[in-house]
Structure formats: C-alpha cells, structure tokens
C-alpha cells in the first residue's frame, strides 16, 4: 500500500487550497501557471502534518505524487518523533529531557527578544507550540518552572 493509502486509512485528509505566496518560475518554465496551489495533509484531529506549496497547474497524476510524498514524510516523522521508550536508560532520558528543554527555552528566548510580530517570529512560535504538543503526545511532561522563566521537560511516569 502506498503512503498515501496508509494515511487515508488513518482518517487523514488532503486539502488543496489557493497558494497566497508569490509563485517563482522554475528554470524550465516560461509562463506563469493559471492556478497555484498548496496541499495540506491533515490528521484525523485536523492538525497539519505536512504541506507543500507553490504547485503550479498540477495534473491529477502530479497531485497524487505530491500527496504520496507528503504522506511518506508525515509517516516517517510520526514513527520517529522522540518517543520516551526510544531514549534508553533513565540517565539518558534525563539528558534528552534537558536538551529538549534547552531547545524550547532557546526558541522562547528568540520569540521574546524579537517582540514585534512578523513571519519569522510567528513561525518560531508555531514550531515551538507544535514541538511541545508532539512531545506531550509522545509521553513527555512539558511545563514551565515555578518562577515562570524556563521550560522543564521530563519523561512521563509509566
């Protein structure tokens, strides 16, 4: 079964929409496409698991190829996202948790030191939120310390 078929069996959906970003002509292209789309792969809860934009005038065959590539990417990520049982001994789990916390804290610092809204700050914030969501779904506790100054990541109790 193709990766596309597997995600459809999971209840995931592909959503094609008009792409708002400016289209960039490829090396072999001479004309702007009539339609530029972005494809979103959403899981059964409606969360975007993968996306690709800037797709100009896709044929049905190419659209299926894009969907299969997105499905393959999302399934690979789903299988390998820092599951506690993959971290080994308790000492390793603690080290992994500390590194994950440092990463989240670094992202948080980047967001708070650049307080003006903008695409990159919003993207970093979205990435941080998605990372925390996935860690929690994967069996990690993610919380802010009592002083409210930094994140702590620990393996969830069994």
Pairing of strands 151-155, 48-56: unpaired
Q: 122 pLDDT exceeds 90?
A: no
Boundary (domain end) residue, out of 46, 63, 80:
80
Q: For helices 119-137 and 90-113, give the axis angle rounded to 10 degrees.
A: 160
Q: What is the pLDDT of residue 87?
A: 45
pTM over 0.85: no
Confidence category of residue 157, pLDDT binned at 50, 70, 90: low
Expressed as residue numbers, the domain containing 150 is 84-155
Q: What is the Cα Rg of the chain in Å? A: 19
Q: Are 62 and 88 contained in the same domain?
A: no
Q: Are 97 and 146 contained in the same domain?
A: yes
Could you report the per-residue pLDDT of 24-71, keeping only the tens digit for each?
777 788 889 999 999 999 988 888 888 888 899 999 999 999 999 999
Q: Are 23 and 55 contained in the same domain?
A: yes
Q: What is the pLDDT of residue 58?
A: 92
**19 contacts: CB under 8 Å, gap ≥ 6:** 36, 37, 38, 53, 54, 55
How many domains does the chain divide into? Answer: 2
Q: Which residues of 61-88 are buried (b: 16+ CB within 10 A; e: fewer)?
A: eeeeebbbbbbbbbbeeeeeebebeebe
Could you report the per-residue pLDDT of 67-87, keeping only the tens digit for each?
999 998 888 876 555 554 444
Helix/strand/coil for 92: helix
Tokens of residue 80, six digits: 């390998």
Boundary (domain end) residue, out of 80, 113, 141:
80
Q: Are 105 and 43 contained in the same domain?
A: no
Give the residue carrying structure tokens 């008009």.
18
Q: Are 22 and 71 contained in the same domain?
A: yes
Confidence category of residue 11, pLDDT binned at 50, 70, 90: very high
Q: Are 102 and 66 contained in the same domain?
A: no
Distance (Å, whole) CA 126 – CA 148: 20
**132 contacts: CB under 8 Å, gap ≥ 6:** 104, 142
């Amino acid at each position: 079964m193709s990766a596309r078929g597997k995600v459809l069996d999971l209840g995931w959906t592909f959503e094609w929409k008009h792409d708002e970003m400016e289209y960039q002509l490829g090396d072999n292209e001479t004309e702007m496409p009539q339609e530029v789309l972005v494809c979103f792969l959403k899981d059964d809860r409606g969360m975007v698991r993968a996306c690709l934009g800037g797709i100009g005038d896709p044929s049905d065959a190419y659209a299926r190829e894009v969907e299969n590539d997105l499905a393959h990417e999302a399934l690979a990520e789903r299988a390998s996202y820092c599951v506690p049982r993959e971290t080994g001994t308790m000492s390793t789990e603690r080290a992994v948790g500390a590194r994950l916390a440092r990463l989240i804290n670094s992202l948080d610092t980047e967001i708070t030191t650049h307080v003006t809204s903008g695409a990159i700050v919003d993207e970093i914030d979205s990435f941080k939120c998605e990372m925390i969501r996935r860690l929690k779904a994967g069996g990690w506790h993610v919380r802010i310390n009592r002083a409210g100054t930094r994140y702590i990541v620990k393996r969830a109790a069994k």
